Each structure stands twice: as C-alpha cells, then as structure tokens.
C-alpha cells in the first residue's frame, strides 16, 4: 500500500506545497507517496480528438478564464504586491527570449545518428543486459 494525496493541480501554490511535503515524507524514511494532481485538460486527447464532442467550447473557455494556473498565480502575485503587471510582462518577455535562443541553438545542431538513441540510457555496468525497442528486432544488447 502506498499512501497518497489528492492535489488541486490548477493551483501553483498547492502543487508546490504538496511536492515539498512529499519530498520531506520520503526523505524522512516513510517511503513513496502518490500525488494525484487534479487538472483540467483544455484540449482533446489527441490530434483526432478536438475535445468538443463531449464538452462545449464555452465550458473549456470558462475553465480557462476561471481556473488557469498561470493566470491565477499571476493574479495572486499582483494582489499581494509581490509583483506588478510590468514585472510579470518583463519576466514573460525574458522567458520568451531565453526559449527563442535555446530553440535557435537546438535547430542549429545536426540531428544525431539513429544509433545514438541507445547511448547513455543506463549507466554502464549497471547490470542491464538489453533495452527493448518497439519490436523484437530493435532490442539493443549492451
């Protein structure tokens, strides 16, 4: 039996507190703790499932406008005076710049050889004799 906690996954601070608690629980020697993050999925399950056959666009928009974790956290920061809208806009701008820079660097790197897929999956000497692929012919032996 592994105990667990249900967490409002749409609340940034609730998630942070739950993670801190679970970490301390494990560090204290109590074993693992399951964290069930309750969230709302704005999109469908896949490209072929737009998610509109079993819920309305209005429902999705309502959840996005009332329960979005990023928007909610931004409002908390502003309401408590921890940050201003200008501060948050500057953070967003910097984050986008960092992402754009990282993306440009990643795109400039040549794609690796397919054989490298099997490299560094396990620590050498860890006793793992093979790694299964999608089909038996893709099994890689170390």
- 């399950």: which residue's tokens? 45
Active-site residue flag, 42: no
- Per annotation, catalytic residue among 16, 23, 41, 55: 41
Tokens of 72: 């909610």
Q: Which of 45, 132, 134, 141 is the catalytic position?
A: 45
- Written as one string, the DSSP assignment of 31-58 is ---EEEEE---SS-SBTTB-S-SSS-HH
Active site residue 45: yes
Q: How far is CA 27 from the centre of its chain?
A: 23
Active site residue 76: no
Provide the annotated active-site residues. Answer: 41, 45, 54
């Amino acid at each position: 039996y592994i105990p667990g906690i249900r967490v409002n996954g749409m609340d940034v601070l609730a998630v942070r507190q739950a993670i801190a608690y679970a970490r301390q629980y494990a560090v204290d020697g109590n074993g693992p703790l399951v964290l069930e993050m309750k969230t709302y999925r704005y999109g469908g399950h896949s490209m072929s499932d737009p998610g509109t056959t079993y819920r309305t666009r209005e429902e999705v928009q309502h959840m996005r406008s009332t329960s979005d974790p990023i928007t909610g956290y931004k409002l908390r920061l502003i309401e408590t005076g921890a940050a201003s809208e200008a501060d948050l806009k500057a953070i967003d701008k910097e984050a986008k710049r960092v992402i754009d820079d990282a993306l440009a660097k990643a795109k400039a790197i040549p794609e690796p050889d397919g054989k490298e897929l099997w490299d560094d999956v396990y620590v050498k000497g860890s006793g793992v004799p093979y790694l299964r692929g999608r089909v038996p012919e893709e099994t890689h032996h170390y």
